[in-house]
C-alpha cells in the first residue's frame, strides 16, 4: 500500500449522490451504524462527526485507507483535513494495536461514498453482504465460534455408521474396529466370519456369526428386518462373551467355513464336474439339490418315492489319483426343493479338488421329476474362527432359512444397552448399571477396552467427571451410539463430551473437561494491563433459516429421520437449510435443544477474540469465565492499576471521566487472581481517585482495575482454548459467555412427530372413476392347472374375469370396485383388481356389457362408472381364430396388424406374401414367400421386403402349440412407385 502525499481534486459528485457512513464497531459489522451524509466532506469532518469523543492520542493510532476502483492507498493524518473521498471510493479505518496485521485489529470502520459501481462491487448488492463473504469464505463456518465446536457432516468420504440404521445390513468387515456400544441404540452387528448354509431334505439352515461389541452391555429385542426373532420357528440364538484364552462356545460355528455356490446341473451323459476347494481345509462337504423336487407321480397324480444317485471323488491338487467316496443317494416323494449331500474328514489340511457326477440316468417320463444340481461345496479350516486379544461379545444365530426368512438374513438387529460405571446423584459415587449418560460414555472411552492405552484412575480428574455426570443428569444429556468408525480416541471423546455440552482437556496430564454452561464466578481479567496482542475474528455469513439434523429416533425404534429446527424468531417456513451433525443424540427433544443452541450461539457468540498473557497474569483454565476489556476508539472504560488504597478511596494510575447521571463500577483482580466487583460513587470531572461504595472485598496495591459504567465496565467471556507460547506466555482464544443460551434453547420445545400430518377430508369426497383393464373369457380366463373343459365339472365355459384398477384424480382413495355385467355384479378390493363371474351365467358367443364403479371406504361412489365395455364370451378352444387382419405400406415398410379371439392360444404364426392382382383368386399359401415364421408375441409386425412397387397378397396363419390352426387369412397390399 503506497502512502498518499498528494491527491488530484476529487471528481464532481453526481446529482443526488450522497455519502454513506458505515461504522462497524469492534469485530462485527452487523452491528454497524449506517448514516446518510451529503457528498463533499473531508476525512477529518467524517471522523469528527462519527467519533466525536475520540482523543487526539486515539486518533493518532488510526489507520485510514482509501479503496479506489483500481488501488488502495493509506491516507496520512496530515491530509485528513483536506482530502475529500471521491465518488465511488471506500474509506476503511483500522485501529492500530502494537504489532500485528490490520485484519486482526480490534476496530473496523467502513465509510462509504456511494457510486454506481460501489454497491455491487464492494458489497455485492447488499450493504454488508461482501464483508461477510470476505470474512468467512464458506457457508456454515459460523459454527466455529461455538464454545463446543459443532461437527459438520462429512460427505463423500465414507458412510457414516451413526446414520445407516434403516435399511442396514450385517456386513462382513475383516479387520474392522470392534464396536463399543454406548447408551441405548439399535445395532446391526457386523459378521466375524462368512455365514454358511446347510441343506437337509426340504429345509435349509443358515448359521450367522456376529460381533456385538466389547462386553458390558445387554442385548434385547432381536429382529430380522422388522419382525421379532420370536416369530421365526426353530431359530437358535447364542450370545457369549469370549476371551482370547476361553474355550470356543459355539457349536453351530466351530471353524471358518468357505462355501462355493457351484449351481451346476448334473446330467448323466456329461461326466464329471470339478471344483477347487479353499486352501488349508481338512473337512469337506458337498450338497446336492433337486430344485424342482424329487418325485414319481402315478397316473392318478399321486406322489411316490423317487431316488437319484451321485458319485463324489476328491484328491490333493498335485495328485493324479482320485479318492472315491461312497455313492450319495437321495430319495424323496414331493415336488418341492430337496437337498442331500455328503461330508468327510481328510488326512489333514491341504489344497483339495472335488468332483461329482450323476450316476443314475434321468427319467424321460413327464410324471417323474429327478433333475439334479450340484449346489454347494464347503471347506472347513481347522482354526478358531475369531481371535482377539480382549474379551468380546459374540453371537451365532442358527435359523431355518428356507421360505420364511429367505432374503432377510442380512438384516439382523438388536438393541444394545450399555452397562458401565455411571454417576449416581443420590450417593455421589459411580455405580455400575444400565445407562445412557454422556458422562458414562466419556469415562468408558477414557478407561474402557476400546482405548488401546486406557487411562488409569490416578490420571483421571474424577471431580470434573463427577460434575459432568451430575450435569448430564440435570439436563438429561445422553450419548447413544455404536462407535465402530475409524477415529482417534480423542475425536471419539470429543463426540461423547459434545453430547453433554462439554469439551475434554488434559491439564497437567489429567483427563479432565470443561462444560459449556453459565459460570457463576469470574476467574480472571483480560485487559491492556495484563494482556497484549489483542485480535478478533468476526464471522459474517447469513445464518440458515433452519438446521437439518439427521438422527436415529429413539422414540421410533431408532429409525433414521431428520428434524428441521428453525432459528428463533423465524416467521413463515424456512427457505435456507444447513446440515448439522449431532453424534450420539437420539432424543427428538434434545435434537431440538442442541440445534437451537447452535442458532443462539451464532447470535450471541458472533466473534472469536484473542489475547496474549503471561503466566503471572493467567489464572483460568479452558471453560472459565473472565472479565474482558477491549480497547476501542470510542470506549468509555478505563484499564488501570491501583497505586494506593485508603479505606474506600482508591488511587489509580489512569484518569477516570464520569458522566453526570450515570452509575459506575469497577472490576478488580488481585495479584493472587481473585476477581471481585465494587460499585463507585460519582465524582465530577477527570480524576485518578475513585470512591468505593457498598460492601465487598478491598483492592490492594498493584491490583488491576477495570472502571466503567455499571454492568459495562467489562464484558464476560469464556476461555475456549489456551495455546502455549515462548517465555511463559499463552495465547487465549475467547468467546462470549452468553449465559442465556441454555434457558433460551430449552424454552418451549415443540412436540415431536416425524411428519406433519394433514387432515384427511375423505368422508364426503368421491373416488376417481375406475379403469376396466381387460375382460377375459374362454382360455384367457382359465385358472392355472385347468387343462380342458372337464376340469370345470358341469360348467360349460370358464369364468368371465374382469380386471380393473383404481382411476386417478379422485379426492378420496378407492376402497373397493363394483363390477356389473347385466344383472350380475361382483365387488373386488382396490388392491386385488379382479372380479369373477360364473361362466354358467353366459353363453358362448354372447355379447356382454361390462361397467365398473369405485367406492370409497366411507361408501361414497365415484361420480361416473367405467365402461360399458363390450365383450364376446369365448369358449375354450385350442385353435385361435383371426378376428382382424390388415397390411399397409407405411414409411417404406410393410406394417401388418391382426387380432385374435384367444391370444393365449397363439403359440406360432406365419406371415407370407406374393405378388398378385387384387380381385384374382387367392394364391396357394404353400407357394407364397415367407416374411415371418415362428413365435411373435404381439401385433403389429413390420417387414422391409418386398419393396418393389406393385400389388401383393399377404397371408396370416395363427397356430396353437401343436401347430394346429384355422385357414389362413388373406389381404391385398399395393406398394407405390
DSSP-derived 3-state class of residue 160: coil
Say what the pLDDT of residue 269 is.
86
Apex 284 CA angle, 280 and 288, nearest 5: 140
**Sheet strands side by side (includes 834-837):** 771-776, 800-805, 834-837
Residue 636, pLDDT > 80, answer no
Of 619 and 106, which is predicted with more confidence?
A: 619
Identify any residues that bridge with 907 across adjacent strands, giving them in sequence order: none
Question: CA 164, 170, 171, 177 torsion: positive or negative?
Answer: positive
Angle, in degrees to the nearest 10, between helices 462-475 and 438-447: 150
**Contact between 267 and 259 (Cβ < 8 Å):** no
Cβ-based neighbour number of residue 183 at 10 Å: 25
Over residues 41-88, the pLDDT tens digits come to 888 887 887 777 777 877 787 767 665 655 556 678 889 888 887 766
C-alpha cell at 432: 455400575
Write the CB contacts of 790 (distance below 8 Å, at least 6 apart in sequence): none
Residue 107 has pLDDT above 60, yes or no: no
Q: What is the pLDDT of residue 273?
A: 94
For the segment 457-478, the average pLDDT, to the nearest whole number, is: 94
Residue 288 has pLDDT above 90, yes or no: yes
Segment 422-433 mean pLDDT: 95
Q: What is the pLDDT of residues 162-221, one digit of tens each?
A: 333 333 577 877 778 899 999 999 999 999 998 888 888 888 888 999 999 999 999 999
* pLDDT for 788: 42
Rounded average pLDDT over 567-591 = 93
pLDDT at 6: 37
Residue 735: per-residue pLDDT: 92
pTM value is 0.66
How far apart are the C-alpha atoms of 314 and 744, rounded to whole Å? 76
Report the b/e string of 804-829 with b at 16+ CB within 10 A. Answer: bbbbeebebebbbbbbbbeeeebebe
Rounded Cα–Cα distance for residues 730 and 751 (Å):
46
All residues at 6 or more sequence positions from 123 whose CB lies less than 8 Å from its CB, including other chains: 129, 130, 131
Phi and psi angles of residue 561, each rounded to the nearest 5 degrees, phi first? -150, -175
**More confident position, 1 or 935:** 935
| Number of CB atoms found within 10 A of residue 458's CB | 7
Give the pLDDT of residue 136.
26
Q: Which helix (H) or strand (E) holds 533?
A: strand 532-538
Q: d(Cα 276, Cα 236) in Å, to the nearest integer?
A: 32
Q: Quote the pLDDT of residue 296.
A: 87
User: Residue 75 and residue 59: Cα distance in Å, rounded?
Assistant: 13
Is residue 607 predicted with pLDDT exceeding 50?
yes
pLDDT in tens, 512-561: 999 999 988 888 899 988 888 888 888 766 788 999 999 999 999 999 99
User: Domains in the chain, ordered, with CATH?
Assistant: 2-137 (no CATH), 168-254+386-414 (no CATH), 261-275+282-369 (no CATH), 422-515 (no CATH), 608-739 (no CATH), 771-872 (2.60.40.10), 882-975 (2.60.40.10)
> DSSP 3-state assignment of 418?
strand
Place of cell 472502571: 707
Q: How confident is the model at residue 473 (pLDDT cuts 50, 70, 90)?
A: very high
Is residue 639 within 8 Å of 527, Cβ to Cβ?
yes
CA distances from 846 to 371, 445, 834 (A): 46, 81, 21
Tens-place pLDDT, residues 37-53: 566 788 888 788 777 77
DSSP codes of every residue in 632-681: -TT---EEEEEEEEETTEEEEEEEEE--TT--EEEEEE-TT--EEEEEE-
Amino acid at each position: 500500500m503506497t502512502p498518499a502525499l498528494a491527491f488530484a481534486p476529487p471528481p464532481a459528485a453526481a446529482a443526488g449522490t450522497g455519502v454513506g457512513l458505515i461504522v462497524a464497531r469492534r469485530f462485527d459489522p452487523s452491528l454497524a451504524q449506517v448514516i446518510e451524509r451529503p457528498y463533499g466532506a473531508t476525512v477529518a469532518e467524517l471522523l469528527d462527526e462519527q467519533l466525536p469523543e475520540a482523543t487526539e492520542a486515539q486518533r493518532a493510532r488510526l489507520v485510514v485507507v482509501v479503496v479506489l476502483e483500481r488501488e488502495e492507498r493509506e491516507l496520512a493524518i496530515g491530509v485528513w483535513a483536506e482530502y475529500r473521498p471521491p465518488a465511488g471510493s471506500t474509506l476503511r479505518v483500522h485501529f492500530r494495536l502494537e504489532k500485528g496485521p490490520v485484519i486482526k485489529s480490534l476496530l473496523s470502520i467502513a465509510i462509504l461514498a456511494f457510486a454506481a459501481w460501489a454497491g455491487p462491487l464492494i458489497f455485492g448488492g447488499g450493504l454488508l453482504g461482501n464483508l461477510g463473504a470476505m470474512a468467512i469464505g464458506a457457508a456454515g463456518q459460523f459454527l466455529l465460534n461455538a464454545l463446543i465446536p459443532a461437527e459438520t457432516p462429512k460427505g463423500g468420504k465414507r458412510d457414516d455408521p451413526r446414520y445407516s440404521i434403516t435399511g442396514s445390513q450385517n456386513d462382513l468387515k475383516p479387520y474392522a474396529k470392534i464396536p463399543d456400544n454406548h447408551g441405548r441404540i439399535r445395532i446391526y452387528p457386523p459378521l466375524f466370519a462368512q455365514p454358511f448354509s446347510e441343506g437337509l431334505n426340504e429345509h435349509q439352515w443358515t448359521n450367522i456369526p456376529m460381533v456385538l461389541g466389547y462386553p458390558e452391555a445387554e442385548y434385547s429385542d432381536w429382529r430380522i428386518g422388522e419382525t421379532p426373532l420370536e416369530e421365526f420357528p426353530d431359530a437358535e440364538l447364542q450370545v457369549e462373551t469370549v476371551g482370547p484364552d476361553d474355550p470356543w462356545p459355539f457349536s453351530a460355528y466351530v471353524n471358518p467355513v468357505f462355501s462355493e455356490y457351484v449351481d451346476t446341473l448334473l446330467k448323466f451323459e456329461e461326466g464329471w464336474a470339478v471344483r477347487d476347494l479353499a486352501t488349508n481345509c481338512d473337512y469337506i462337504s458337498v450338497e446336492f439339490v433337486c430344485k424342482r423336487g424329487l418325485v414319481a407321480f402315478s397316473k392318478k397324480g399321486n406322489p411316490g418315492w423317487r431316488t437319484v444317485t451321485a458319485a463324489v471323488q476328491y484328491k490333493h491338487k498335485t495328485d493324479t489319483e482320485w479318492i472315491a467316496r461312497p455313492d450319495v443317494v437321495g430319495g424323496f416323494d414331493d415336488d418341492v426343493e430337496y437337498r442331500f449331500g455328503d461330508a468327510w474328514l481328510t488326512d489333514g489340511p491341504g489344497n483339495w479338488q472335488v468332483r461329482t457326477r450323476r450316476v443314475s440316468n434321468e427319467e424321460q417320463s413327464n410324471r417323474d421329476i429327478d433333475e439334479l444340481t450340484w449346489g454347494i461345496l464347503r471347506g472347513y479350516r481347522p482354526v478358531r474362527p475369531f481371535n482377539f486379544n480382549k474379551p468380546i461379545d459374540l453371537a451365532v444365530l442358527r435359523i431355518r432359512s428356507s421360505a420364511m426368512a429367505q432374503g432377510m438374513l442380512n438384516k439382523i438387529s438388536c438393541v444394545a444397552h450399555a452397562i458401565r460405571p455411571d454417576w449416581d446423584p443420590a450417593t455421589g459415587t459411580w455405580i455400575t448399571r444400565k445407562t445412557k449418560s454422556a458422562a458414562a460414555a466419556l469415562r468408558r472411552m477414557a478407561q474402557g477396552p476400546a482405548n488401546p492405552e486406557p487411562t488409569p484412575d490416578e490420571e483421571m480428574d474424577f471431580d470434573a467427571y463427577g460434575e459432568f455426570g451430575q450435569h448430564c443428569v440435570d439436563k438429561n444429556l445422553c450419548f447413544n451410539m455404536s462407535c465402530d468408525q475409524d477415529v482417534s480416541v480423542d475425536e471419539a471423546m470429543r463426540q461423547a463430551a459434545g453430547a453433554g455440552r462439554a469439551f475434554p482437556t488434559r491439564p497437567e496430564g489429567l483427563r479432565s473437561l470443561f462444560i459449556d454452561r453459565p459460570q457463576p464466578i469470574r476467574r480472571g481479567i483480560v485487559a491492556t494491563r495484563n494482556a497484549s496482542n489483542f485480535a478478533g475474528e468476526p464471522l459474517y455469513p447469513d445464518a440458515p433459516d433452519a438446521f437439518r439434523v439427521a438422527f436415529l429416533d429413539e422414540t421410533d425404534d431408532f429409525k433414521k429421520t431428520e428434524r428441521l429446527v428453525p432459528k428463533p424468531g423465524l416467521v413463515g417456513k424456512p427457505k435456507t437449510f444447513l446440515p448439522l451433525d449431532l453424534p450420539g443424540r437420539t432424543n427428538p427433544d434434545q435434537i431440538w435443544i442442541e440445534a437451537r443452541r447452535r442458532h443462539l450461539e451464532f447470535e450471541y457468540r458472533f466473534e472469536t477474540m484473542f489475547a496474549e498473557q503471561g503466566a503471572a497474569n493467567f489464572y483460568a483454565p479452558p471453560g472459565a469465565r473472565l472479565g474482558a476489556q477491549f480497547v476501542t476508539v470510542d470506549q468509555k472504560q478505563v484499564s488501570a492499576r491501583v497505586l494506593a488504597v485508603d479505606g474506600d478511596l482508591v488511587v489509580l494510575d489512569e484518569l477516570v471521566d464520569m458522566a453526570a447521571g450515570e452509575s459506575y463500577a469497577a472490576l478488580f483482580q488481585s495479584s493472587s487472581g481473585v476477581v471481585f466487583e465494587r460499585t463507585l460513587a460519582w465524582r465530577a470531572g477527570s480524576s485518578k481517585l475513585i470512591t468505593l461504595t457498598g460492601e465487598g472485598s478491598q483492592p490492594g496495591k498493584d491490583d488491576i482495575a477495570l472502571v466503567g459504567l455499571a454492568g459495562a465496565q467489562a464484558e464476560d467471556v469464556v476461555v475456549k482454548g489456551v495455546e502455549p507460547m515462548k517465555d511463559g506466555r499463552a495465547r487465549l482464544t475467547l468467546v462470549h459467555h452468553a449465559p442465556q443460551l441454555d434457558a433460551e434453547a430449552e424454552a418451549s420445545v415443540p412436540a415431536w412427530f416425524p411428519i406433519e400430518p394433514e387432515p384427511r377430508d375423505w368422508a364426503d369426497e368421491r373416488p376417481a372413476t375406475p379403469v376396466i383393464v381387460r375382460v377375459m373369457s374362454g382360455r384367457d380366463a382359465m385358472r392355472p392347472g385347468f387343462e380342458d373343459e372337464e376340469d370345470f365339472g358341469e360348467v360349460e365355459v370358464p369364468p368371465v374375469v374382469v380386471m380393473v384398477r383404481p382411476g386417478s384424480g379422485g379426492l378420496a382413495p378407492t376402497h373397493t370396485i363394483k363390477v356389473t355385467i347385466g344383472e350380475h355384479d361382483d365387488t373386488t378390493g382396490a388392491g386385488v383388481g379382479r372380479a369373477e363371474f360364473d361362466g354358467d351365467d353366459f353363453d358362448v358367443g354372447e355379447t356382454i356389457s361390462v361397467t365398473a364403479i369405485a367406492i370409497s371406504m366411507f361408501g361414497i361412489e365415484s361420480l361416473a362408472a367405467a365402461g360399458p365395455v363390450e365383450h364376446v364370451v369365448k369358449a375354450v378352444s385350442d385353435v385361435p381364430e383371426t378376428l382382424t387382419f390388415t397390411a399397409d405400406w407405411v414409411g417404406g415398410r410393410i406394417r401388418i396388424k391382426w387380432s385374435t379371439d384367444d391370444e393365449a392360444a397363439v403359440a406360432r404364426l406365419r406371415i407370407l406374401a406374393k405378388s398378385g392382382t387384387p380381385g384374382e383368386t387367392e394364391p396357394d399359401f404353400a407357394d407364397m414367400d415367407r416374411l415371418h415364421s415362428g413365435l411373435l408375441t404381439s401385433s403389429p409386425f413390420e417387414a422391409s421386403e418386398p419393396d418393389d412397387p406393385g400389388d401383393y397378397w399377404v397371408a396370416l396363419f395363427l397356430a396353437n402349440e401343436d401347430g394346429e390352426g384355422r385357414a389362413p387369412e388373406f389381404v391385398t397390399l399395393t406398394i407405390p412407385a
